[in-house]
Amino acid sequence: MFPTVVEDSLRRIRDLGGSVRRELENDLVVVNEEFSLSLVIARCETTKAGAHRWTIRLETGLLPDITVAVRMAPGNRDILDYYLLPSIDMTVTRLRLAEDNGIGLDAYRFTSLERLFDLTRRIALREVA
């Protein structure tokens, strides 16, 4: 599942005219030579009480500009949603998420990666002007 999500995302960025460079030693992704991404999977864990929890480990050693966390649905077969976590706002190395996390975290929660793709889209200057 994870390799497919990564490859599909990188292909989509390229299809939108962006460039992608993957650093082989650490899997950091550099987009348009402007910002870096780290993609991580957050698997669903069920507590003894039946609540769902997800742990996201932020790659502070790599210092990505944005961590893309793919949050898996219960059963870990399907994608539930995505968190686009900018490093400038993340001051911890690990996040533990519940189903709802308040505006402080859920402001970064999305049902698709379209917002990420909007950031990577290349537009000719004459189109903007």
CATH code for the domain in which residue 76 is found: 3.40.1350
Is pLDDT at 26 greater than 60 in this prediction? yes
Number of domains in the chain: 1
Local confidence band at 128 (pLDDT 50, 70, 90 cut-offs): low
Residues 6+ apart with CB under 8 A from 113: 9, 12, 68, 82
Q: How far apart are CA 13 and CA 115, in angstroms?
A: 12
pTM: 0.87
Does 89 fall in a domain?
Answer: yes
Residue 1 above 60 pLDDT?
no
Asked if residue 59 belongs to a domain, the reply is yes
